[in-house]
Structure 1
Amino acid sequence: MGAPSSISLALGGPTPLRLSGRLLAVLAGLAALGALSTNIILPALPRMASELGAGPHGDISLVLSSFFLAFAVGQLFVGPVSDRWGRRIPVLGGLALFVAGSLLCTWAPTLPLLVAGRVVQALGVCAASVLSRAIARDLFEGEALSRTLALTMVAMAAAPGFSPLLGSAMEYGPGWRASFALVALLGLLLAWAYAAAVGETHPSDRRAAASPAEVLRGYAALVRDIRFISPALAVSVIIGGLYAFFAATPAVLMGRMGLSALQLGLFFAGTVFVVFAAGMLAPRLAHRWGAARVARAGCLVALTGALTLLMGAEGRSLAYFTGAIALYLLGMGLINPLGTAMALGPFSRQAGLASSLLGALQMACAGGMTALAGLAGRSPAMALGQVLAAASVLALAALLVRWRQA
């Protein structure tokens, strides 16, 4: 296999693909669309509640929880379907469903219809998220896979950082319904770009029909396979910490430090550069020292950030909080792409199934750790530090189990 800039599709298919900026942009868009379509509406939730007659902290939360639940369940079906029928039909069909759900949200005059639109959105966009990883595994392996996943995972982590700022701009401009129209347009553009630049990547000779019982046995086999479950758990708990960070930080920065909504959005946007830097470093470090070793080092960096936050949870400055969080995000940015590549690497024939299970684990950890971070009591920073420390320790333990059994 040649240098990353000239790596082509080694599947024997009719149209070889290279690791190009165009391909990376499409995969990054597929990975990021789900997070973008959720976080872009966060600044508008109070106005949504007011206009639709919902409680600001009760019923309106269904707009988020319904999306996460449908996303988690839907992706468990997407992978097996794509392993049987290929990637193209689920990706384009999922994006069409996402656009339809987004348009329903744009029009919805009541909260139940808005929630229904969010469910349709999630069932569609989960295919894009799951299959961005499966497509990368179809096309590449080794260092090329790590590099591709590093860049797509940067986009997936960056979307929650930039989207609240974009949502604030939409809220103060055309209104919250325009946010749904915008993501519908992005879904259409992404479908066109995928069809033009990528297309089918899972050839017929690698496809296999599977009954529901066989799919369940496949998931059970992955859970028992240390090659998958060890890095998959490490990535999932670390990503859970990222979602806990986004959930708890408003209470820290706005409630305790007095930042405005705009300043909070700028802070989130600034954290993206840390994740971007880590994503650029990860494949280079892995080339020199190996993916497993760099991923374990990333756990230690993340743990250092979490412990730093814990030591100064009370009475510290914005600069201190930012530094501690930056360390955690740096470690997360190293673990995420490398752990994903380690989890998917051995399963080329089951890339869709493995990617689906990985996504479900991530969503479960995101939901659980976000809930734990919400049990803040009087100190949201302390609760966040505890969750991030637990995530780092669990990730390191999972990777050490694989290392000892290697």
Structure 2
Amino acid sequence: MIGFSNTYAQDENNPWAISFGVNAVDFYPTGENAPLGDYFDEYFNVSDHWNILPSLSSLTVSRYLDSGFSIGATASINKIEKFGDDTFTYKDVSYYGLDGTVKYSFAGLLNSTCIDPYLGVGGGYTWVDEIGAGTLNGTIGINFWFTENIGLSFQSAYKHAFEDYLSTHFQHTAGLTVKFGGKDTDGDGVYDKDDACPEVAGLPEFNGCPDSDGDGIEDGKDSCPNEAGLPEFNGCPDTDGDGIADKDDACPTVAGLKELNGCPDADNDGVADKDDKCPNEAGPAANGGCPWPDADGDGVLDKDDQCPDVAGTVANNGCPEVTEEVQKTLNAYAKTILFDTGKSSIKDESEKALADIIAILNEYPTAKFTVEGHTDSVGRESTNQRLSEARALSVKEYLTANGVDEFRLSSKGYGEARPIDSNKTRAGRANNRRVEINLVK
């Protein structure tokens, strides 16, 4: 018999199958007249009714179609010696069959990869001796798969002859089935059709895609595919266990804080230890993590202290304040400055007083002062005005020439307008002729 049969559950991955086996032909249980019996009568009476050729006598080639359906062709050969209860009609008569069958597998419905029952329908042509006729075939069978590609197949086919001179009969086959044809480009055991990464060897659990670092996360979803990591970090490691993946951790081997990109901050000043010049002493980032110094100890940090090397007051931005006592001392020295009569030139004997004034001014480097010139009322008022201005300017220029910042000094002459004593006496006029150095507030 040549029967077209799909002898196992093929699929898109292994669309082709070949079955090699033995077939048995039974004319008896087909409902024909004697010497044959009723339908399915003595169906398993192998010794009395089955014609078996004890050699390779059946070959099937099949191709998977879709949705459990396959189509195939079977060629078979046998020798007929038993025709029901008649043991004399046929003696060593040749039997040949060529059949085509469309089959449907129930393995998918059963969700089974081992047990694979199926039904089929088809037709073919059968010759007994030299008599041949077409047949309509119905088949039922089952495959038992030992592996993905190899299994045992058992099938029973009812073959109804279209001509009276050929008796309807059953043909049973048993054999070994091999399915093949699946394409696996990368050789990872996952066929290309189901392989999400057909060009790269991978794992079945990842649809054929690789997991290079073996961390259970396929490379395509692994942010660190070559370094074993954790699912919560998309496959990246967290060496120091601080909850920040190494790839995002500026200090991957030392546990740290998220807000500092994984780096520690021993003094909790908000500056990571690696950037902190004083890692064990809290300080602002603006000063490299170190506390601001106060060199003069006046309570005003050097960064805000306009006189960082001289103790001052907070109210005066870290600089010392000119007290009323200091102001009196300045003017006491200033009153001793002597000028040539009727001129602005300073006499040499005034240098000691001027040196003392310079020393005091340098103690207050941010304070500003005005050098004021005054005269008595002797002479013309305009002349006295010009003289007071010239003398004030002369003192200012002396001070700036000897180290006092010129931007801290200004000069002004008041002439005879601001007397401090009576101009009617010699002593009073002497007091009115003076230079004052006053703090600009």
TM range (shorter): under 0.3
TM-score scaled by structure 2?
0.18
**Structure with the greater alpha carbon radius of gyration:** 2
TM-score (norm: length of structure 1): 0.19
Q: Which has the higher helix share?
A: 1
Structure richer in strand, relative to its length = 2
Higher relative contact order (CA 8 A, sep 6+): 1
